[in-house]
A and B are shown apart, each in its own frame.
Chain A
Amino acid sequence: MKKLHQAENRKNKSISYAKWGYIFIAPFFIAYIIFTLIPQFLTIYNSFFETYRDGLTQVGPNFVGLENYKALFTPEAEGTIRILKYAANTMIMWIAGAVPQFLIAILLALFFTSTRLNIKGQGIFKTVIYMPNLIMAAAFSMLFYTLFSRVGPIQALLEQWGVIDNNFDFFSHTITVRGMIALMNFLMWFGNTTIVLMAGIMGIDQDLFEAAAIDGANSVQVFFRVTLPLLMPILVYCLITALIGGIQMYDVPQVLTNGRGEPNELSRTLVMYLNGYLRNKNYGMAGAISVIIFIITGILGGIVYKILSAQYKEGAAKHRERKGNVI
């Protein structure tokens, strides 16, 4: 009897711990459900309706099935499907910014964590490279706009040096506009990535670097055989978050081109497109675009995760194998 009672007690005790666990995580879930999950379902729901505002009068909501999606994927007279054009713009600008972002971030993270280099005044460097991220994206692109505008200092300087002629306009060439956007995204985010990757590298067991050094590995070998495979989980995390942020690219191109996505809408991103519909609260079309962005994000995130984590598992397996051999 006593034993049974004890068992019951123990059971109660374990349950009460679980209770506290649930209570502690509940705020997150409540906030998540109210501010993310429900809006997400409402977005999907709205995407099947014709609903917008004409002046101050609400039109709809009228159920239209998949009409909004059909409209999005209907090619124009000469065959362009606009949403694909904007998706391509977004990806090109993201890749152009993300490639240097990751290369520089990895390089800097290696420098800062290297015990051999032992760089002095790291605190200052880390603060400085993180700085651009603290500026509001809108303010940052306003700054770029002022610098590169037709009456800005860069234009005047380059004209004086004879690099460009008087008619040159940074905002009417695809490559310069996209370049500026990529550059801004790169400047804003490489510091952040560096800090995260540094944390990842510092989490790697120092014994492994020592062992590699004793075995006579050079720094390139150490990087590719030791650092990179063990850094992979953090790198995958950084890439996926950067990718999600990239697909949602909005503020930098919006402010830089004053919402026009010039030239010829070649710097217009998916979210800028979505926002065009929100001007008159066209939640149907905007919802459909959101759903498509959601799907694209899911697919691309999945692909990146699959590829990189497969490599990582492979590397880890090999590592284990080798370790086994040694023993």
Chain B
Amino acid sequence: MTTTETLRRRVQLWFGPQHPGITGNMSVQAWLEGDTLTQGITHVGYLHRAFEKLMERRKFIQSFPIVCRICVPEPDTNEYLLAAALEELSGLDREVPEKALWIRTLVLEMSRLAAMLQVLGGHVGSMGLGVVPNWTYTLRDYVLDRFEELTGARVYHMYTVFGGVRRDLPEGFAERMETEVLAKIEAKLPVIDNAIFDSSVFRKRAIGVGVVPEEWADEMGISGPVVRAMGIPRDTRKDFPYLKYPELDFEVVTTTGSDIYARAWIRRQEIAQSVDLIRQILRRMPTEGPYCAKLPNMLTWTIPPGQTYVRAEASRGEMGYYVVTDGSDKMRRVHVRGPSYVHGVSLLERLIPGTNIADLSPLMVSLQTCPPEIER
């Protein structure tokens, strides 16, 4: 084969970093034969702001407005984990009031809900079906309205802080949550089902595409909807219970198939699950009592030497924070373990060979990558 022929057969293509089909700012350097991808190398770093290093040079309280940036669509997991890690190391965890634990659980479930609505729209949007994302993004905005009311901001909430949360639940929050958000989502879900899961177009493009072999689950540390779509009931909320999850009534959603369709279906089911959990939380949450422990002076707060790893279930999978303190007023080391590294880099690169170019976007969305989480 001549060089020209090779070139004709093998085209190199840069997909991203600025591309509507990409999940955030990252890029895939892909090689094509015809319209089939033969190889793909992921390139990240476009969002690198050195979060971990920044935090090593900031006081604990100053680190807290930073972490929400590690995943824009779902910042609260980061806020909770940083707080949980430092509370554990400082002994403050024993003083977090009951109400704060409930509000934290609520906020985590709200952010999972918002993120899953977004990515469910992304599933179909990446296939060129623009209608469903309009609905799901609007539903997500309704969740953000409640976030705005509760935390004072729509996207970067900066709400969960050491000792509890920053503000109490506003009056009438539960009612507004029910009528303005949960009821609307529930009303829309059957319509979404019709438009996605019963659509022959979506089924054709999603079933059997992007199959992740089950044996990779442990080998690569896959978590979240990706692993649950394999039929493995892995969920941090059940496996390593935290906050008020042990007191809530829910089952881990699983299915089989391990393809794009299965992962979308898991998300669809978990949206309903989140709606139910938020109802349970709002019903059982105490109405009285403090929402934050008495804090020491945050400008001079020091934490004894120690290290810990804390984890929580984000919509993408297991999110973890490894934090080392050395007795000073800053963290010695903080390592953010997000599911995106596994899903968006290692797994994606393995799945690319043999994939049709048109399926790359749906595949990436189904793995749900948050690039800043890869390049902390």
Q: Do A and B associate with each other?
A: no
Residues of chain B at the chain A interface (Cβ within 8 Å): none
